[in-house]
Structure 1
């Protein structure tokens, strides 16, 4: 796909990945998460991007009641959530954390980046309507499995 027709969020993800690889190449692994966060912010801001650290976000109930707060590691251009880790290996808990942040904030795109392993790990997540947290005023989406298998089942019963 040519750069001119690529969706801006994917171009932003590419820039973040390139910046992360360059930072990993320079720093290597072995530092605490905050060092990578500071380096990452510095490099993205040098590129002219809006990059914020420790962004406060709220988890709300269906009726809008605030259930709790959390701080996203990074938010880029107000539309890309980035969770940084400096651990030996990413776990299911790290993935669940990112997905929870996405659902709570409504931010559709996120990257989970681990600087702690020998090789840089980057995972991309896209929140779709099947997994979005809904308010009481909007109908609940069908389950993931029903969305996945509905076309198959419909074709079998015709």
Structure 2
């Protein structure tokens, strides 16, 4: 079975690896986000920064919006972190965002890790 949005995810992660290679670890999340936006533009990866996304609860849209760091290809939520290590808390947070917004794929990126970018690909499924 082919991976969901494989080419798109590959492009997004490749851009993030380049940002991590250039900047290394130690900056705040906002720095990595701006660098990623630059890299996405250079690579012609469509994205929206700080996109407000509605949260559905049962049949109701809540007033509180989730603000995604980046949404790429209108289907991939990119969540940027600059923390010591990704944990189940960050995984659960992104899975909740996927459930609430009905986006099919999330990519969790941690730029604080060394020597390479730490990233996880999370998919919205009926099991999550």
Give the TM-score normalised by the residue count of structure 1.
0.74
1:53 paired residue among 34, 49, 56: 49
Query: Gapped runs of 5+ residues in structure 2?
Result: none
Query: 2:12·2:45 contact (CA, 8 Å) conserved in 1?
Result: no
Report what 1:156 is aligned to: none
Instruction: Give the CA deviation at 1:96.
Output: 1.1
Rg larger for: 1
Query: 2:54·2:61 contact (CA, 8 Å) conserved in 1?
Result: no
Worse-superposed segment, 98-107 or 116-125: 116-125
Report what 2:20 is aligned to: 24
Query: Gapped runs of 5+ residues in structure 1?
Result: 1-5, 132-158
Structure 1 residues 100 and 35: alpha-carbon distance in aligned structure 2, compared to 1, 3 A threshold: same
Report what 1:110 is aligned to: 106
Q: State the Cα deviation string for residues 89-138 of structure 1 (Å, max 9, x = none).
A: 1122111110011001100111000001213101001111233xxxxxxx
Paired positions, count: 126
Report what 1:147 is aligned to: none
Q: Distance in 1 between matches of 2:69 and 2:47?
A: 10
Give the TM-score normalised by the residue count of structure 2.
0.90
Hey, which of these two has a bigger chunk of strand by percent? Answer: 2
Q: Which has the higher contact order (CA 8 A, sep 6+)?
A: 2
Q: State the Cα deviation string for residues 14-48 of structure 1 (Å, max 9, x = none).
A: 11111111111110000000000000011111111
Instruction: Give the CA deviation at 1:63.
Output: 2.3
